[in-house]
Structure 1
Amino acid sequence: MAVLSALCYGAALPLSRLAYDHGSNPLTILTLRFLAIALVMGLWLRVTGMSFRAPPRGVLASALVGVCFVSVSGGTLMSVSYIPVNLTVLVFYTHPMMTLLVVSAMAKRRPGTAELTAVTLALLGVGLAIQVSFEHLNAVGIGFALLAAIGATTTFVVAARALPTVGTTLMSWYACSVAFVGGAAITLGMDAVAIPNTAFGIGLIAIIIAVFATAVVAMFVGVKLIGPVRSATLLCLEPITAIFVAVLVLGEHLKAGQWLGASLVGIAMLIASRRPAE
């Protein structure tokens, strides 16, 4: 499920880029996709007769995940205003290492060799695949990217602890409802509402929402099934997926270094997919 989540997240990026060409923008898409997920999850809870209630700690945890969703999106959007996109992506994908260190500290253990190897290979692979450059460093941009990484780390750690009592559907509803409120406040505050001006653009928005909803739910299921560290590591497949989709959709081309990076991420995926020794 974590791999499915990564594939969907990755596919949403180049599709969003196409939507921008048809009159939309990142903040509008961000807000609409959280609204759609909240509505769908709420409808599902109602139709199936499931309760909207959860233990207070579960509600707080889910709300915190929603805040983290906004910090991830907001942090990356602000970061690219100061530093190149590929550098933002690299800094953001330090979150699997952060997740490993936090989980290990909470469990009062050292990170496992396989875990460290997978996380390190994944980070190196992402750096090569996106052809990162350190020529345009900016402390503010790095700070915003780190904020996004911390938000992702917190999401994995908090979700892993709360999902057994809250459940995937209810957490998705709470988290995306909070994220929608945050996203709407930012979008309206910046007067950044931009609905696509073509039928094709509106169709793209619908596809992006469906893909993103699948990614969010699959991520929560993955965290519940295999834990935060392995899920975070497997999500490093996201930028690789985005690159390959861009090749197919936008006509871009891969260089040798990018193929090497994709291979390293693939090896990391294989290591992370293995069941840990009992």
Structure 2
Amino acid sequence: MTAGMPSSRIDTSKPHPARVYDWLLGGKDNYPVDQAVGEKLPAEARANAARNRAFMHRASGWLAQQGIDQFLDIGTGIPTSPNLHQIVQAVTPRARVVYADNDPIVLRHAEALMVGRPEGATEYIHADVRQPGAILERAGEVLDFGRPLALSLIALMHFLPDDQDPYGITRTLVGALPSGSYLVLSHGTADQHPELRQETESAYRKGEISLRMRTRGEVEPFFEGLDLVEPGLVSATEWYREQPAPVYERSGFYVGVARVP
């Protein structure tokens, strides 16, 4: 294995954020260590995961309706149907989607991930967001970076502490996108339920998973230099472009969609 590249061996002795998220969404592709973390999280965590995923569905579908037919989804996690490629290819069958994740269990689902519309393409990269250059290079074999595309960072950057330069990584990724592209991002926060912050951080810490929930002011820099699409940077259930509006509920995520000028 090349130094710095993610291992292809599944370690069932340590929890992984993608598998914890799968458990929160009611999935079956997780292990007791992942379940143990999930069970220590506040009861609202499952609802927050569902609200976050619903945002991904709305944002991806809207972008496809705007003519975006290329998507790079980093930190995709274990597929829960409908996944991003199913959403966008239902609108634009020719859409090309590249998924990237560092959890080897996702690799076992690559065959399922790649079953998209024959007019389009669905590919998977086993890679870590902390190596953005490697992701961009491999994604360029499928996507045309000379045309607009959507970069999706859903429920990912809060697992990168400040010393891993999450803002710099995002700027590197966005910097490779041509004008007319979009960034779709959701990020964990305790702004709307500060009373749950300690319980949430403790659960992940006991699972040896880094978690850096951020305030609205700390999430804003991820969109620096970009044009936020209305309604701007909001909580997960407040973002929508088409009626009917989702039912408003407090959320553990800030979300936004922004255009590259």
- What TM-score does the superposition give when structure 1 sets the normalisation length? 0.27
Structure with more contact order per residue of length (Cα contacts < 8 Å, sep ≥ 6): 1
Q: Which has the higher strand share?
A: 2
- What TM-score does the superposition give when structure 2 sets the normalisation length? 0.28
